[in-house]
Structure formats: structure tokens, C-alpha cells
Amino acid sequence: MTRSPSPARRAAGRRAGVTLIELLIGLTIFGAVMAAGMGFMMTQSRGLRVLSDRSNTRQNGRFSRDLLRQELRAAGTNVTDVQPILVMANDSVVAFNADLTTRNRDSVSLTGAVYVDTYASEATVSAITLDRQFTIPGSSPVLMYPLQSYSQVNAMFINSDAELLIYRFAPDTAGPLGTYALFRQVNDQKPELVATGLRRADNKPFFRYWYDPTRYGADEPDLDTVPRNWLPLRKTAPRRGLDADTGVAVSARIDQLRAVEVTYEAKATGSNRPEIVRYLVPLPNVENARQSRACGRPPLQPNSPGVTWRSDSQFVQITIPAAVDDGAGERDAIRYVIWRQRVGFGTWGEPISTVAATQRSTYIVRDNGMPVRNASYRYGVAVQDCTPNVSSMSTSADVYVP
């Protein structure tokens, strides 16, 4: 006989399930808790992202500030007597010559380049020559540079060590509307991106210039801001010291600059608290360019080098005897400069190599770069001091390259 469940067992069976109302209430509470949690997480994530953007933008602006300060102050370092120091200056572009970088390790002990970088490109460590003339970006009217090549000495062409540096603010095509990017360019090489997301501060120019007004009749020796109607300032004379580049000539105005004021706004997207970056960079070398100074008398002419064709290794071996001032005499020999000339051709061209003077008795140089075989060549050697004055050239006997 089947027995029916007791009332207690029937009540326990009913409590084992969940009613629809209980389920809906539970889902509602769970959804509210999850929504609150997700909202908190999104708020925290958004805050961290804004903080990161602000930090990155400020670091971005500070990096460009530090780089501009360092390199603008070097304007005029190791230029030649006639090479322009400042080439162009307007609201958003400044171009100047400076011996900022060299690849020669022996320059560490000289008052020459600011930095030694043995990995730097050859096209970025010396003055750009006339055969590579180009348009300075951002120039209006268009300014071509250089107008001549600049040699360290008059007797022969040894290119100036001071390269052209260009800093330019241009619209940031990859950023929000109204933002600018700062570019750095050396000679005619590809511009490098320095900073992005920058804006004009209260519609002020990125670059403002301070000059010495005493040459223009001012009684007070204090510096003043360059009149707006002078801009853009441009070096249109091929060399300093020409009649068209003296006194109050328009081309000479740029040589009166004594400081550059830089102003921009580093503002992160969505931020209402932009950081205004403003600083003044003095130009200590513009009034008196830090040109190479003589260490003494010009170096004495060295003895003639010996040359031999090494058939075993397929190169010309050049043996250079030590110069009189290499470790003795005035002790100011810095390097040996070497030229190559194909016999029958009347010009030497630019040097093919240099060798640091390290007080050896002889220096051995290999030359395996002859452009034409089955021809005869001769070599020339001169001594350079820390001026850099260069001695007269001594030439070798002819050597046949089979």
C-alpha cells in the first residue's frame, strides 16, 4: 500500500526550487553590481589613459625644449670666416650652421665639434656643398642654400666642419586639427620628428627673436624684439663680410640676433589644462663666431709620401713620414690630409682620407678606392693643426694601378 508524503516532506520539496520572482530579483541585483563595477573600472581606465596622455605630451614638449636649447646655443661653432652662422629665421623655422657632430675621434681633444659620433652619416657631419644645393623647408620666399661651398683654407678646398641644422614647426598631418609637429633636419637629409601634438600658445609665434639694436641707432644697449616687418630674416649674400652683407644691409640683419624665444603649448587630447612651454635661448657665438683659432704658425710642409701598389692585396699603400710638428716643434699637428689625383688630370678634388696624428714615426694608409684601373695615380699629403690651418701639399711619385 502506497503511503502519501508527510506535510514536512512536502514543504522541504517546495523549498528546493527557486521561484521566477526570486530569479528576477537576483538577476536585477547582479546586474546592478556588475554595472557599478564596470563603471568604476572604465572610470579608472579613462583616468589612467588621460594621465598617460598628459605625461607623454609633457615629456614630448620637454624633450623638444631640451634639444632646442642645446643645439641652438651651438650656432656658430667652428664655422669658417665667411660661412653664415644664421641662415634663416621666421615664425616657425630657424636654420643655422654649427659643428655639432663629427666622426673623427681625434676631435675629442680639440675645440671643434660638440659631439663625436663615429656612426653618424658622412652627409651630416660637415657643411653641405654647392653641388647639393637645396631649398630650405618652410622658407617663403624660397631660399636656396648654400650659395657657395665653404672651405677651411684658401689654398685648397677642405670642406667646413659646420653643418646646417634646421628646426621647423609644421602642421601635424597625423594629429588632431590645429596641432603641430616639430622637425629637425641636418643639411639636405630627411627631417627627423622631434615632437607631436603641439599647438600655438595664444596665437603667438613659435619663434620670436631678440636682437642688438645699437647698430641701427638705438642709444640703449638692451636687446629688443625683432620688428615684425623684418621677418623673414634671410642670409641672401653668399658669404659674410661682402659689401651686401655689412652695416645695416638687409642680409646682415640676421647677424644681429642674440637670442631666440620659443613658445608653444603641449596639450593632451581632452585636457583642459594645457602646459605652456616658453624659454629663451641665447646665441653666444653669433656676435663673435667661435671660429677655429691658430695654435701658432701654419704647419710646415711634410716630406713626400711613399706609394706602392700591393698586388697581393690589391690596394695602394701610402707611407707618410711624421711631420715636424707631430710630437715636436710646435706640437700642434692634429691630422694628415690625403688627396688622390689621376695622372694627366689637373685637379685634386676633395681629400680621400684623413689620419689622426698620434706621434708615430710613420703612418700607413690603404687606398683601394681607385675609380679607374690600368691607370697611374699620384698622392698628396698636407698637415693640419688645431686652427685648422693646413700646410702646403707634398706629392708622391706616380704609381701604376694594373
Q: What is the pLDDT of residues 27-71, one digit of tens each?
A: 777 777 776 666 656 555 554 444 444 444 445 556 677 888 899
Threshold 0.85, pTM exceeds = no
pLDDT one-digit tens code per residue, 22-37: 777 777 777 777 766 6
Q: Are 150 and 131 in contact (CB under 8 A)?
A: no
CATH annotation of 306-401: 2.60.40.10
Give the span between the Cα atoms of 173 and 166, in whole angstroms: 20
- Position 62 scores a pLDDT of 65
- Position 59 scores a pLDDT of 55
Segments in the chain below pLDDT 50: 47-58, 108
Q: 521566477: which residue's cell?
A: 20
- Position 343 scores a pLDDT of 93
- Position 143 scores a pLDDT of 96
- Position 337 scores a pLDDT of 93
- Position 49 scores a pLDDT of 47
- β-pair type (101-102, 115-116): parallel
Q: Are 115 and 101 in contact (CB under 8 A)?
A: yes
Q: Number of C-alpha atoms within 13 angstroms, CB side, residue 282?
A: 4
- Position 53 scores a pLDDT of 46
* CA-CA-CA-CA torsion sign (145, 151, 152, 154): negative
Give the span between the Cα atoms of 119 and 192, in whole angstroms: 17
The partner residues of 97 in beta bridges, in order of sequence, read 164
- Position 54 scores a pLDDT of 44
Give the span between the Cα atoms of 317 and 210, in whole angstroms: 55
Q: 694601378: which residue's cell?
A: 401
- Position 51 scores a pLDDT of 42
How many other C-beta atoms can be found within 10 angstroms of the C-beta atom of residue 352? Answer: 18
pLDDT one-digit tens code per residue, 168-180: 999 998 888 889 9
Alpha helices in 16-123, H assignment, sequence order: 20-72
- Position 288 scores a pLDDT of 77
CA end-to-end distance (rounded Å), the chain: 125
Length of the chain counted residue by residue: 402
Q: Taking phi first (over 0 means left), then psi (-120 to 50 degrees means alpha), and beta for anything else, what does residue 314 get?
A: left
* CA-CA-CA-CA torsion sign (51, 56, 58, 59): positive
Q: Are 351 and 393 in contact (CB under 8 A)?
A: no
- Position 50 scores a pLDDT of 43
- Position 207 scores a pLDDT of 96
- Position 205 scores a pLDDT of 95
- Position 57 scores a pLDDT of 47
CATH 2.60.40.10 domain locations along the chain: 306-401
- Position 58 scores a pLDDT of 47
- Position 21 scores a pLDDT of 74
Give the span between the Cα atoms of 151 and 104, in whole angstroms: 18
